[in-house]
Amino acid sequence: MKEMKINFKKSVGCILACAAICISFLSTNVEAASFDPARFETIEAKGLKIHTYMTQDALGDLSIIFETKNSLLLLEPVPFHSRTAELKAYLEALHKPLKGIIVSAHNGSIASYEGVPVYASQATADELNKSIKNQLESFKSFGGEDLDCRLVDPTNILKDKNVTIEGINFEIAYHNGPLPSIDLAIPKSKVLFKHMLGADEHSIIVTREQLDSLIAELKDYEKQGYTLVLSSHHKPEDGNAITTKVAYLEQMKMIIAESNSADEFITKMKAAFPNLKGINYLNMTASFLFK
């Protein structure tokens, strides 16, 4: 029998190489699985695939991902580093490139997506460098160092009513007054995004003019038959949320007319809507309307 000679150095090298491959494989899979699937939902809406991320962070943020055949489009990135890491892990698991970020009202952690085009209205872009900067700093009281306060100027300013981004045709409504934001409607898929809606929550109303405008807008969306409503701080809702919110706002308008103070307004609103969440939103509305 021939004596078997073993090249020790070569064998050790092979073992180390195999170990490195195994470690790399495990590391990749850990990274790919570094998100909580329970926080994500996939919705099919008439030819459009939408992913939502309910962050469960201190601000109750929700991010939205539009998935097209060849790319991804992110709406309202989250402002916390830890949640951004989770969102990016989910984006990587979809195996398509992120081709754009749309900002309705939140700066979010845009700086974490270097090189990705950022779309926003001029009013939102201006606000990002004014009150939102101060707002982010104030949020540090509960967000701590996890809150990303870096500001990034949008690369693409939205101006037109009809805009196509990554093959998705959006109808945009611009809100340039206090708390600027944009609404995004996708008529083909009957999908509507509003910064805040929430049929089971109170609304933030800054002026009486804004209230009238919002009622008119929602009635128009209701008439057009939108079936999916997305917001920045609420789980996805169906079209009935629009009808419910219109009724709420119309009753709010009547209560405003018959109230002489913020306290009276709040008391009457609580009596009319005892089960609604977001009392802090109601208090904010009272402070804006009854100065």
pLDDT tens digits, 35-80: 899 999 999 988 889 999 998 877 778 999 999 999 999 999 988 8
Contact 122, 154 (CB under 8 A): no
Q: What is the pLDDT of residue 106?
A: 76
**DSSP, res 260:** S
The alpha-helical segments, DSSP class H, found in 176-233 are 208-224
* Residue 205 burial by Cβ neighbours in a 10 Å radius (0-12, 13-18, 19+): buried
Q: What is the pLDDT of residue 79?
A: 82
The alpha-helical segments, DSSP class H, found in the chain are 8-32, 81-93, 122-128, 131-143, 208-224, 240-257, 262-272, 279-289
- Give the separation between CA 280 and CA 6, rounded to whole angstroms: 74
Query: How many other CB atoms sit within 10 Å of the CB of residue 53?
Result: 24
User: pLDDT by residue for the chain (291 residues), tens digit each?
Assistant: 434 343 434 433 443 343 333 333 333 333 444 889 999 999 998 888 999 999 887 777 899 999 999 999 999 998 888 889 999 999 999 999 999 999 998 777 888 899 999 999 999 888 776 655 565 555 555 556 777 777 778 999 999 999 999 999 999 999 987 778 999 999 999 999 999 999 999 999 999 999 999 999 999 999 999 999 999 999 999 999 999 999 999 999 999 999 999 999 999 999 999 999 999 999 999 999 998
In the chain, helix, strand, coil percent, each to 5?
45, 20, 35
Contact 166, 73 (CB under 8 A): yes
Q: Amino acid identity of 135?
A: Q
The residue written with tokens 């998100």 in the block is 35
- Give the separation between CA 268 and CA 71, rounded to whole angstroms: 48
* Residue 193 burial by Cβ neighbours in a 10 Å radius (0-12, 13-18, 19+): buried
**Spatial CA neighbour of 202 closest among 286, 281, 101, 113:** 281
Opening angle at CA 41, ends 100 and 168, nearest 5: 35
Q: What is the pLDDT of residue 143?
A: 55
